[in-house]
Chain A
Amino acid sequence: MLLVYCPYCQVERPETEFSCRGQAHIARPADPDTVSDEDWVEYLYLRDNTKGVYAERWRHIHGCGRFFNAVRHTVSDDFLAFYKAGEPMPDLDTLAKEAGK
């Protein structure tokens, strides 16, 4: 079981308090009427599924209920960063280097 840090509650809690909601920073198309089929596929179905450092959304469902983002290494499952929703994605390569991954 992972230990997850909620940047809103500022506490570390067991993974079972949280729900993981997949890849972070996928923006909904601003004008759906003008989006091509290929771009809909990209938005709805295609995911990086990275073997390595990955930014993903979490939600503190049994706490504050808010969404936030985390950077995790998907082979070791170590978390490298937690940050609030709306904040920009940190540079994943830099984070990986700092953590020695």
Chain B
Amino acid sequence: MKRYSFLELAKNAFSAHKNWGRQWRAPEPKAEYDVVIIGAGGHGLATAYYLAKEHGIRNVAVLEKGWLGGGNTGRNTTIVRSNYLWEESAALYNHAIGLWQGLSQELNYNVMYSARGVMMLAHTVHDVQVAQRHIHANRLAGVQNEWLTPEQAKDYCPPLNIKKDIRYPVMGAALQRVGGTARHDAVAWGYARGADDMGVDIIQNCLVTGIRRGADGAVEGVDTAKGFIKAKKVGVVAAGNTTTVMDMAGVRMPLESYPLQALVSEPVKPAFPCVVMSNTIHAYISQSDKGELVIGAGTDQFISYSQVGGIHITNHTIDAICELFPHFRRMRMLRNWGGIVDVTPDRSPILSKTPVQGLYVNCGWGTGGFKATPGSGHVFAHTIAKDEPHRINAPFTIDRFKTGRLIDEAAAAAVAH
């Protein structure tokens, strides 16, 4: 792998940047792999990367029905934070934060992680109490999070409207300074390049059509658009399409898939210093380095695989943005899109072995999987390599729906659902 450096940049400048070369190969699938990962999004590629890097398992294929990073990895609002309520969740997302901090150096690829702070607004007495409970729980779990008065919130984010006469006045905010944003595509590309360099085959445009199981029930391999591929272990990391893929192995999943929307404005000069979220009036917003305001809306109320979503959902979010940030009222939106998110009954992900020997699943990230990408891949690789969960993802089994040990972030989450 050609390492990227200032010297390389200078050298390539002399040839007008025309000779950088490919970042990863486009191989044909081999007949057999030790591990097949289904889904080349951020989580799937990170899993392959850590399988090769930390566990020495390099005979790995990542199969992708479209192009890598073309699903929810390329469709989210790029927010990174870890201020979840329960200790299980806080440990998982904080593990990811730890990895985010050194990820650009680790991958030799600029993922543009920017710890600009994530501020979550409180608009009612109930919001204030919930936010403060969160902050205390986070402090006890070793997760950074702090309380701001409306005036402090405005100091941190000057565009914020803290007037008392708006419909939902700001009564305070929880700020996680270590939270922020990262460049979503670069995360997928960086992991793809790193994994490919260690021998992982990333096979795009290769739809998985079946999962074969032997007489003993264990996984034998996968049928694909490019023929049968033998594998002793298969990891499913297919986000909104997880149910469809797991059905192929005869495993029913506690998931429902919804369209989640995002939109961006025309690019403008730097006008917005951090990430602001509000669950009560349902808005979240940040500004990309390119200058676009990146705005996240909610999910539709019905399951769908349409990758579109209803326009009234985005309008609802825009209404909230216009009230909180009146000077954005004349901004024009450039485009909007939807991604299909897989939601579990307790709104926590599943990173788990399955009832099928050799089949592993990483899903259920719902509306907030991007932030966990490095941590998710890291612990899922451990689960596949050792055939047992990492300490951090041990609570996130499928079995929890039978035992009742749910990780109930549904009402308690810091996320907007």
Contact = CB atoms under 8 A, between A and B. Distances in A.
Interface string A31-50: 00000011011101111110
B20 interface: no
A77 B253 CA distance: 22
B312 A54 contact: no
Given A1-B311, A16-B312, A45 B306 contact: no
B325 interface: no
A1 B301 CA distance: 11
Interface string B269-286: 000000000000000000
B110 interface: no
A1 B310 contact: yes
Interface in A23-68: 37-38, 40-42, 44-49, 51, 54, 56
Contacts, number: 59
Contacts of A90: none
Interface in A53-96: 54, 56, 72, 74-77
A12 interface: no
A51 B301 CA distance: 16
B330 to A, nearest CB: 25
A82 to B, nearest CB: 14
A74 B307 CA distance: 11
Contacts of A44: 345, 401
Among A15, A41, A72, A75, residue most surrounded by chain B Cβ atoms (within 10 Å): A41
Contact of A49 (B257, B306, B311): B257
A45 B254 contact: yes
A19 B301 CA distance: 7
A72 B302 contact: yes
B243 A49 contact: yes
Given A37-B402, A41-B401, A49 B302 contact: no
Contact of B306 (A15, A46, A47, A75): A75
Interface string B242-275: 0110000000111111000000000000000000
Given A16-B312, A41-B402, A77-B304, A46 B254 contact: yes
B322 interface: no
A46 B306 CA distance: 22
B305 interface: yes
Given A41-B402, A46-B252, A47-B256, A15 B305 contact: no
A76 B304 CA distance: 8
A51 B252 CA distance: 14
Contact of A38 (B256, B345, B402): B402
Contacts of B331: none
Contacts of B345: 44-45
Contacts of B305: 51, 74-75
A19 to B, nearest CB: 7
A59 B159 CA distance: 40
A88 to B, nearest CB: 22
Interface in B288-302: 301-302
A47 B402 contact: no
Across the A-B interface, the 9 shortest Cβ-Cβ residue pairs: A45-B254, A49-B243, A20-B302, A20-B301, A45-B401, A1-B310, A46-B252, A75-B305, A45-B345
Given A42-B252, A54-B303, A74-B305, 15 more contacts: A15-B301, A16-B312, A20-B302, A40-B402, A45-B254, A45-B401, A49-B253, A49-B257, A51-B305, A56-B303, A72-B302, A74-B303, A75-B305, A77-B304, A77-B306
Interface of B: 241, 243-244, 252-257, 301-306, 308, 310-312, 345, 401-402
22 contacts: A1-B312, A2-B310, A15-B310, A15-B312, A37-B402, A41-B254, A41-B401, A41-B402, A44-B345, A45-B345, A45-B401, A46-B252, A46-B253, A47-B254, A47-B255, A49-B257, A51-B257, A56-B302, A74-B306, A75-B305, A75-B306, A77-B304
